Structure 1
């Protein structure tokens, strides 16, 4: 049974066009650049939508009830000081990074954004290695110690790459310039004729190796007496970054869920899940994909499993992991991901946030898929988690 406009088509007709940015939303919020149209096109191809609809129609004739659901997502990331500052909350939107060239040629990064499993330390090593010009194995990251790291907001609101990463990039670029000034003093050349690649100072023109970083570090730290009079090596730099161009830098994406509902038991089987995400410049595909998968699983947990239950006295009945349902690997579908990249121009890095958008989109996609599956029965469910009992009640099977 098909009622009204196709759910994919209604979204495709109503999103803001990709060439209409910058734009202002209905609430007055400013949107720098999003990619709804490109994301929808990529999703349709990724999931082979037309074939999936044909499969759904054929299976319904056999008494198998499957549904397809969509969710188009906009998620605020990289918040500026306008987020908490206007309310007087002392929560910093800026972050800082200190980068230091050590005597042996290694680079130490000190940054206030901590690691919570989302991969920030890996991202910072990657950014620092590229910005300075050293092998990633030469980079050490220190986070979580506010006595030594620059002052910053820390880990919140999908800002690890976009804010902390930008600070690391700016500090890394400044450190590279300072290293080349030291190299120019040692080699008695102009800094503009030099470059830094793979732990070595090289000729910017032909790439000829001129000075290993380890030797530069030895001279700068232990034999500065051999450098020109009045020249002091500055091999430790700190840079800060706060997003100022917009109140938030929005990321966007679209998700789709394919489910099968048993109308006799109310059981929902998750068959497949797709997501196309635009988090600006993708810095590490593996990290962002697995962060998205984890976030989607968390969102599915809210849609189908997780619920706090209380007795008449207000005591929680399922306050332990034996009774509180969370999604496990056996229940989860394959999650297929793709990306559209529209880097933000508010930073050099161009990175937006990623993780929260996965959680935000999954519950709606799953709920819409379930309702699509039970549409032939004239039934609808909205209350989450969507349990078998709620489904059977909606289907008129139980009171």
Structure 2
């Protein structure tokens, strides 16, 4: 069974074609910088590789380019669109409506649209990817895997905010949690690698969006993102935790509109607001050059992560392993070092030489004396989506 997995983001479309149940990746790629002049498609299969810079102006053009390369007579991997049996979609926000993987119908699409206001950088593009895939792959079953589903196990003590109960009961204002597909995948890999039947794990997903999850025996019990994917850690352009009174001050005293504040906190803050750069590679280059803004931003980033590590150790009453994952978590040895330094009191000791080793595989980077295991596990949300979609339709 061929499953095409589409992860449609705000300016990108990641995709993998996976044969199930063998989990064989037939091809994979990404359309990046959609809407920009340097928009490009990268595609790789066992026998070919394609790089195109066609300046894809819209997601529709980007997804059409994916279909074109899949069907290409020389470098493609399918003969016709009906060779795709299932299209699996990552959807960021499913609220309380979806606690598991779901076959997409009109009601599901309406719910995804309803939650768009809670994930404005994600759900609209997730929905657009679904609508385009329905048009381009009319014979395929469309399946949604929700980032929020993994966090449905968070208990009320961590799920509720200290606001009037009616806002929870009538309007579902609560902690939902995100990046659930990634946290589920890497935590299960960690348990398997460490041969743990019972476990206390902190999963740290660091990309343009960042989050941490406290996971006990494979179940999410607390998470750094909340009602929307904007709280918690310092992110690429999102502020993370902030005193909410700052919003009132900006509106009432500084004259900002609410729309301006929302845009500032989601698109102009975080590492971008602190340094002028949104790409961590540029920020780390700034650190090497002695840029004081970049140095302080990295220190703030690591400090925020450390605070969550301490709180999650307390919440779980212990810790077996820390997992770093996603683009920054997997590739930034500098940030991993900064996070794990001076945590010896918790039994967390990083091995400097193991930490700087370059690898795309699961690896341990803790010192021999470390009581807590420190792992770097490449996330594979696309494979996790394919597995869940396959299991749903069996």
Q: TM-score, normalised by structure 1?
A: 0.17
- Max radius of gyration: which structure? 1
